[in-house]
């Protein structure tokens, strides 16, 4: 793009609410910075699709796949395309004169669809890699993991709500929420469980404590399965610490960016760790 193209794109950005209400002091260089990350995110997603398609066709023609592997991989490609569509639906929700960011519920679905895609890939790969004699038979521990995964999925949704609503900045304190254990104002507004920043932060913190207790409890009960049981425990403790720091430093935009990314990244690792352990159970 030349300078004229950049200015034309910047003029388009000036028409939406995010510029009018928040970033009205942006220079062209500021715009180029946020443009880069949006561009990179989309191009990288398309690059992933191209790499997958080329590799899939190549190995399919060379008959390197077992029959039972083909349709799951076709489904993987379809899910990747669906994730891109969800991403555009999310982005579109912020391209108007009133909203200053994308809809947080659409953001949550985009985030969870990405994690679901990762889990699908991991589950499929582990099924190919784990030898039959390595599976663990313990119905109680497996059921307990189902409970942990269910709670973790809800928690991840609320983590995305926190990010989309920027809920941390409404109460950058810990262990209380602006001095209260039950924050005032958490019942106000339409559907406060999903849209009220105080309610969302209260729920997100509460589920974090419940999840930590469940993982510790499972860790104690799972002594017989070896050192693999340590991974979810280490990650959930790290995640709690990152969550606390992310909330407490949410007023610092620069620090919040890195803490928020780290918090999301460890959340992803925690989910993949729990799913990996679950895959070991027959």
Model pLDDT, residue 140:
93
Low-confidence ranges of the chain (pLDDT < 70): none
Question: Quick count: other Cβ atoms within 10 Å of Cβ 186?
Answer: 20
- Over residues 151-188, the pLDDT tens digits come to 999 999 999 999 999 999 999 999 999 999 998 888 88
Model pLDDT, residue 100:
85
Q: Which of 251, 277, 249 is nearest to 262 (CA)?
A: 249
Model pLDDT, residue 269:
97
Question: Prior bond to 81 cis, omega within 30?
Answer: no
DSSP per-residue string spanning 69-127 = HHHHHHHHHHHHHHHHHHHHHHHHTT-SSS-SS--HHHHHHHHHHHHHHHHHHHHHHHH
Cα 279 to Cα 234: distance, rounded to the nearest angstrom: 19
Whether the pTM exceeds 0.85: the reply is: yes
Those residues whose C-beta lies under 8 Å from the C-beta of residue 252, and which sit 6 or more positions away, are none
- Over residues 231-263, the pLDDT tens digits come to 999 999 999 999 999 999 998 988 999 999 999
Model pLDDT, residue 163:
93
Q: What is the CA radius of gyration of the chain?
A: 22
Model pLDDT, residue 167:
93
Domains of the chain, by residue range, sit at 1-134, 135-282
Cα 54 to Cα 52: distance, rounded to the nearest angstrom: 6
Cα 14 to Cα 28: distance, rounded to the nearest angstrom: 11
Cα 138 to Cα 144: distance, rounded to the nearest angstrom: 10
């Amino acid at each position: 793009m030349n300078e004229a193209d950049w200015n034309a794109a910047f003029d388009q950005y000036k028409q939406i609410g995010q510029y009018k209400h928040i970033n009205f002091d942006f220079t062209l260089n500021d715009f180029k910075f946020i443009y880069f990350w949006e561009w990179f995110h989309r191009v990288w997603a398309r690059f992933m699709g191209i790499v997958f398609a080329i590799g899939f066709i190549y190995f399919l023609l060379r008959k390197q796949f077992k029959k039972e592997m083909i349709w799951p991989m076709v489904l993987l490609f379809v899910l990747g395309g669906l994730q891109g569509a969800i991403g555009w639906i999310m982005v579109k929700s912020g391209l108007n004169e009133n909203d200053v960011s994308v809809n947080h519920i659409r953001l949550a679905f985009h985030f969870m669809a990405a994690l679901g895609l990762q889990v699908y890939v991991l589950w499929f790969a582990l099924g190919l890699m784990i030898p039959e004699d390595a599976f663990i038979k313990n119905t109680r521990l497996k059921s307990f993991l189902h409970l942990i995964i269910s709670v973790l999925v809800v928690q991840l949704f609320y983590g995305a709500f926190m990010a989309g609503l920027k809920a941390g900045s409404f109460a950058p304190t810990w262990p209380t929420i602006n001095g209260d254990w039950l924050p005032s104002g958490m019942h106000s507004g339409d559907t406060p469980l999903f849209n009220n920043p105080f309610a969302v932060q209260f729920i997100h913190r509460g589920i974090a404590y419940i999840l930590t207790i469940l993982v510790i409890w499972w860790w104690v009960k799972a002594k017989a399965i070896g050192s693999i049981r340590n991974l979810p425990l280490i990650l959930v403790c790290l995640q709690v610490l990152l969550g606390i720091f992310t909330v407490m430093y949410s007023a610092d935009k620069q620090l919040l960016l890195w803490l928020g990314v780290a918090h999301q990244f460890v959340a992803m690792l925690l989910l993949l760790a729990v799913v990996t352990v679950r895959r070991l159970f027959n």
